[in-house]
């Protein structure tokens, strides 16, 4: 008889994506997968809405990141063993992290840092890896560079703040909330700008006259051109989301051409296994060893119990949080 476990699926109720509990068969790991008993998971806005479009009903449990203990490994897994405590993105499997048990590809898994709780670990895989790609893989951020992070209180924005401080960069953040900006000063943000701002480039000049090296745009199209205006020569713009649901903007190609600006996008929509391995291994080498020092840990706003995961989703969609929303099992 198959063992049944509890999991939450995305469903559409009254035109809104919601999480609904179902009993499912215990997941079975493929040859390159690890089966874990989930101890904590975290919510991500992109799992429910992208560009203003709600996701439909899901065929598999929802959730894309988890921390837990290994209880079974696939025949091809060599780096991990039963009982290991790991965290990772739950992407590319017939599984989901909003479940009592889930599978993770072995190349997505990472050992949990010493001294980190299950909840802190679950807050790392999705947002920190996206922030790593934005800042390092594409942004080439270096010590003393200046980075503008829009919607800095978001999950990816707050993760980008922590990584930027590990690198030794200067951080300018934007938010619609002065209170959020005040709180993020305690995590190392150097200068905050309340948006909407009529002249973002001039406001940035209150902090620096030299312009900025990198934009990590979590907000979307409403701030695109203003942020581009603040970039210095050969500056880089990386778009990681569009919380404002504005996806179409006019672009000044002449300025981009003359200033030699680079524009990149971060998404898992078409990412390859090779890309994932490069990001995970780079993160493990360049960031993970330094997490946990001083205030350089994931910023967690609230922790919910598993049975309250739908309440957690509603809170996330309110956009009132600073950092991650985590669910413990």
Paired tokens of 85:
């405590």
Q: What is the pLDDT of residues 178-193, one digit of tens each?
A: 999 999 999 999 999 9
Q: Contact, 145 vs 170, CB < 8 A?
A: yes
- Cβ neighbours of 86 (radius 10 Å): 22
Predicted local confidence at residue 45, as pLDDT: 84
pLDDT for 60: 87
Q: Is the pLDDT of residue 40 over 60?
A: yes
Under a CB-based contact definition with an 8 Å cutoff, are residues 310 and 327 in contact? Answer: no
Of 143, 155, 148, 139, the C-alpha closest to 226 is 148
Tokens matching residue 310: 């739908």
- In the chain, residues under CATH classification 3.90.180.10 are 4-124+299-328
CATH class of 4-124+299-328: alpha beta
For the entire predicted model, the pTM comes to 0.94
Where does CATH 3.40.50.720 sit in the chain? 127-265
Q: How confident is the model at residue 94 (pLDDT cuts 50, 70, 90)?
A: confident
> What values do phi and psi take at 170, rounded to 5?
-95, 140
Q: How many CB atoms lie within 10 A of CB 23?
A: 8
**What is the structure's pLDDT at 213?**
97
β-pair partners for 4: 25
What distance in Å separates the CA atoms of residue 329 and residue 327, rounded to the nearest whole number?
A: 7
CATH fold of 127-265, please? Rossmann fold (3.40.50)
Torsional class of 168: left (φ above 0), alpha (ψ -120 to 50), beta (otherwise): left
Q: Which helix (DSSP H) or strand (DSSP E) does residue 132 occupy?
A: helix 125-132
What local confidence, expressed as pLDDT, does residue 178 receive? 94
Q: 227 by DSSP, 3-state: which?
A: helix
Task: Let me know: does 72 contact 101? Beta carbons within 8 Å.
Answer: no
The segment with the largest mean pLDDT, out of 86-100, 150-164, 220-234, is 150-164
Per-residue pLDDT reduced to its tens digit, 151-181: 999 999 999 999 999 999 999 999 999 999 9
Q: Return the number of other C-beta atoms located less than 10 Å from residue 154's C-beta.
A: 25
Q: Nearest Cα to 23, choosing from 90, 103, 100? A: 100
At 11 the pLDDT is 87
Between 293 and 86, residue with greater pLDDT:
86
Distance CA 91, CA 88 (A): 9
């Amino acid at each position: 008889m198959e063992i049944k476990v509890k999991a939450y699926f995305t469903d559409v109720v009254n035109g809104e994506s919601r999480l609904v509990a179902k009993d499912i068969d215990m997941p079975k790991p493929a040859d390159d997968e690890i089966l874990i008993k989930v101890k904590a998971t975290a919510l991500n806005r992109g799992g429910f809405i992208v560009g203003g479009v709600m996701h439909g009903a899901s065929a598999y449990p929802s959730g894309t990141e988890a921390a837990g203990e290994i209880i079974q490994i696939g025949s091809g897994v060599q780096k991990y063993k039963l009982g290991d405590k790991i965290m990772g993105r739950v992407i590319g499997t017939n599984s989901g992290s909003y479940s009592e048990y889930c599978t993770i590809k072995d190349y997505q898994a990472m050992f949990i840092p010493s001294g980190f709780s299950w909840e802190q670990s679950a807050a790392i895989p999705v947002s920190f890896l996206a922030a790593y790609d934005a800042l390092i893989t594409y942004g080439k951020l270096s010590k003393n560079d200046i980075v503008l992070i829009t919607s800095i209180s978001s999950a990816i924005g707050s993760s980008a703040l922590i990584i930027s401080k590990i690198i030794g960069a200067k951080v300018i953040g934007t938010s619609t909330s002065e209170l959020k900006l005040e709180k993020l000063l305690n995590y190392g943000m150097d200068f905050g700008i309340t948006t909407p701002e009529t002249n973002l480039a001039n406001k940035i000049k209150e902090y620096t006259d030299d312009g900025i090296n990198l934009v990590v745009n979590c907000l979307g199209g409403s701030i695109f051109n203003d942020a581009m205006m603040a970039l210095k020569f050969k500056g880089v713009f990386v778009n990681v989301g569009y919380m404002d649901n504005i996806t179409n903007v006019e672009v000044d190609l002449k300025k981009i051409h003359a200033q030699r600006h680079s524009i990149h996008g971060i998404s898992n929509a078409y990412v390859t296994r090779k890309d994932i391995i490069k990001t995970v291994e780079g993160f493990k080498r360049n960031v993970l060893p330094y997490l946990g020092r001083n205030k350089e840990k994931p910023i967690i706003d609230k922790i919910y119990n598993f049975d309250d995961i739908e309440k957690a989703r509603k809170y996330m969609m309110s956009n009132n949080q600073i950092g991650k929303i985590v669910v413990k099992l």
